[in-house]
Amino acid sequence: MKQRLSYLWKIALAGLVFTVGIVIGGIIPTLMGLPAPPMPEGAEVGRILQYSAVASIVLAAALATLARGLEGRFLSRWLILGGFTWGAHIVMFIEAAIFMETGAVSAINSTLFTIVSYFTPSFLCAAIIARFFPPDTAGKSFRANLAAFFAGRKTAAWAWRLLGVLVAFPAIYIFFGWLVVPFTYQFYAQGAYELTAPTWGQIIPVQFARSALLLLISLPILITWRYTRRRLFFSLGFAIFVLIGLVWMITSYWFDPALRIFHSLEVLGDAMVYTGALVTLLVKK
């Protein structure tokens, strides 16, 4: 019981740090001369921060499930978790940029502002998680794990496996997107909540870009993972679902409940099937 309470306050603190980091992080792009993006129609700053606080706690819990399984000392684990958190938000913002006509991703400058502003909360939260949720033993260094991870397979074998993972995400995305179209497309077709329906010429390149970035930020986790492939599947799949989907749906409180629910289910399917492809193709038994 005492240990569970310890986990709860640590996760709550990490979530609070992430929320405060969002506010602090907005200073950096402002100093860089990037204009702050407009608020989406129907949204209020105060309420967004309230929902962001809830989403941040869920985010911290997802990172904590990963942190215990990563070998290495604090610095490498912090950088891995921070890069994963920030990169996953970028994956989310890239997606939103072609589906939204206003708000944090309504234009190139707005997207850049949002991406830069999330650097600070991502690495601050990751520092708390890496410190509070260490592995039982530090284990091997990242360099040693990197050599072991790529050993035993020829270049050609790695090439087709990496290519398979790169192609897998767009295919999975299209499949689950097709399943929820009957429940969500009306909002985009009608321009509700300032949403828009992008063309296939926009969707396909963006999904390949997201796939490449997801692979890049997931690889260090695969390389340093110290537990079973099954545990990796559930921990990483849950973390991807939270960071590229659930956080966004929790924060977008002004969206229709049906839109939020079906998109959450869609991203859950995306995340788990994609993680299954990652683990199956890249992680040795």
How far is 284 from 152, CA to CA, in rounded Å? 10
Between residues 228 and 109, the one the model is more confident about: 228
The stretch 66-70 carries a mean pLDDT of: 95
Boundaries of domain holding 203: 2-282
Residue ranges of the alpha helices (H) in the chain? 2-25, 27-31, 45-67, 74-97, 108-117, 119-132, 142-150, 155-189, 200-224, 229-241, 247-251, 257-282
C-beta neighbour count of 175 within 10 angstroms: 13
pLDDT of residue 136: 81
Structure tokens at 245: 């989907």
pLDDT of residue 57: 96
How far is 162 from 250, CA to CA, in rounded Å? 32
Among residues of the chain, what percentage have pLDDT more than 90?
74
For the chain, how many structural domains are there in total?
1
The stretch 167-184 carries a mean pLDDT of: 96
At residue 1 the predicted structure's pLDDT band, cuts being 50, 70 and 90, is low
Asked if the model's pLDDT at residue 174 lies above 90, the reply is: yes
At residue 5 the predicted structure's pLDDT band, cuts being 50, 70 and 90, is confident
Asked if the model's pLDDT at residue 135 lies above 70, the reply is: yes
pLDDT of residue 74: 95
Between residues 80 and 197, the one the model is more confident about: 80
Asked if the model's pLDDT at residue 203 lies above 70, the reply is: yes
* Average pLDDT in the chain: 92
The stretch 47-51 carries a mean pLDDT of: 89
The stretch 164-169 carries a mean pLDDT of: 97
Asked if the model's pLDDT at residue 194 lies above 90, the reply is: no
Strand partners, 70: 225
Residue 195 sits at φ, ψ, to 5 deg, of -90, 160
pLDDT of residue 104: 57
Cα pseudo-dihedral 102, 95, 65, 14, rounded to 10 = -20
pLDDT of residue 60: 97
pLDDT of residue 105: 63
